[in-house]
A = this chain, B = another copy of it.
Amino acid sequence: MVKYLVKDIDEGVKLLRLDDDRTRFFEAAWHIPEGITYNAYLIDAPGGQILVDTWKATYSDLLMEALGEVTRPGRIKYVIVNHAEPDHTGSLPAVLGEAREAKVIVNAAGEKVLRAKYRLRNEVVHVEGTRSMDLLGEEMTFIHVPWVHWPETMFTYQGRTGTLYTCDVFGSFSIPPGHSVDPGDARYLRSAEKYLITVMGYYRKHVLSAIERIDSLGLRISRIAPSHGGVWEGDVREPLRLYRAWAGAEPRSRSVSMAYVSMYGSIEAAASRIFNELSSRGIGVSATAITDSEYPDLEEFLVDANDASAIVLATPTYDTGVHPRMKFLLELMREKFRGVEKPVAAIVSYGWGSNAARYVETVLRETGMKVLAVETFRESLEEGQASRVADLIAGAIG
């Protein structure tokens, strides 16, 4: 059920959250049975109201309805655009259509996108770099944090409440039951990591830079308010630590994440032997099987791989190259694991000639991973191949 939540999260700060369980594939790419939210925030400043971000275009009417419950749109004096992407600006035309006097706070790069997307009649206030200003009696700081996840992305810090409005960063898929994150909710954290890897994986380094930038400013942050998912309340060292670990693909434990494609069982048999060799060395293995009966969500493998100490990929040769589903997975890794120097081993089977091994190795090296081995076999692993792979992995992960 599509619904919205209006909730006071601080004195004079309201969360306006749209709960979207209709979108099956976020960005037309990521399967999200858990749903997603779009969060806007309405700040009651002494001199008028400030809206931080909006919702997706589809939900413009609902945003106007939600706003109507708590204000008259004419009272909105400023709309802050932290990120120009349509899931946060789609309802902007509806808001500005009512709040005709409202000024749009955005940097020049963001304005360019807004003007390309929408008829923008309202006045624009430019903020570049890091800039503090008194806004209707609220001390606000705008911090340009490029490429999280577009060049124009920025954070907004509200001094009075210690709230950092971060848009996509610190966001998550899923629809939390309350407004705030329960840091003990493992499902939520999993979904947040999935969001980070799928949507922001290409921009990992920029996420780390943005977190460093925040650290360096010495802000007194007591709340992180993203535009997807739950609000982090209280001690924000935990979300900073988590998102830093996720963006850095830090191993959670001494473990391997394995994905394989098996058409008729020979790759599955090889994967099973490697599983046993790793297990006998005390290394836990999570396996993602792509077979003639299963095609699991690869988003889940990406999260497993992000958490693992090392990765194993196994594929048959298909049409002289890599199996199409492994090719898809490799291309996802090329995008989302860019610069992640994690150890990886690959297994490639063949019946006739094969360019598959070279292809796998090239993609993994271009991604920036540490390629430990690309083992090939015909029909079944040769003596010693599985233990060699396991030894290399054990050696690499210590």
Contacts and interface: CB of A to CB of B under 8 A. Distances in A.
Interface in A1-47: 22-29
Contact of A328 (B90, B262, B331): B331
B264 A24 contact: no
Given A27-B292, A351-B150, A331 B325 contact: no
A332 interface: yes
Contact of A28 (B86, B291, B331): B291
Contact of A318 (B27, B56, B352, B379): B27
A29 B332 CA distance: 17
Interface string A288-322: 00111111000000000000000000000011110
A335 B264 CA distance: 21
A323 B323 CA distance: 20
A217 interface: no
Band of interface residues on A: 35 or more
B262 A28 contact: yes
Interface in A48-105: 56-57, 85-87, 90
A293 B335 contact: no
Contact of A87 (B90, B264, B351): B264
A127 interface: no
A50 B294 CA distance: 36
A234 interface: no
A265 interface: yes
A170 interface: no
Contact of A352 (B90, B151, B290, B331): B151
Nearest to A31: B295
A56 B325 CA distance: 22
Nearest to A316: B28
A302 to B, nearest CB: 11
A27 B291 CA distance: 8
B24 A293 contact: yes
A202 B319 contact: yes
Contacts of A282: none
A378 interface: yes
A207 interface: no
18 contacts: A23-B293, A24-B294, A27-B263, A27-B292, A28-B290, A28-B291, A28-B292, A28-B323, A29-B263, A85-B264, A86-B263, A86-B264, A116-B351, A116-B379, A151-B352, A202-B319, A324-B335, A328-B331
Given A24-B294, A150-B351, A150-B352, 4 more contacts: A26-B292, A28-B261, A28-B290, A202-B319
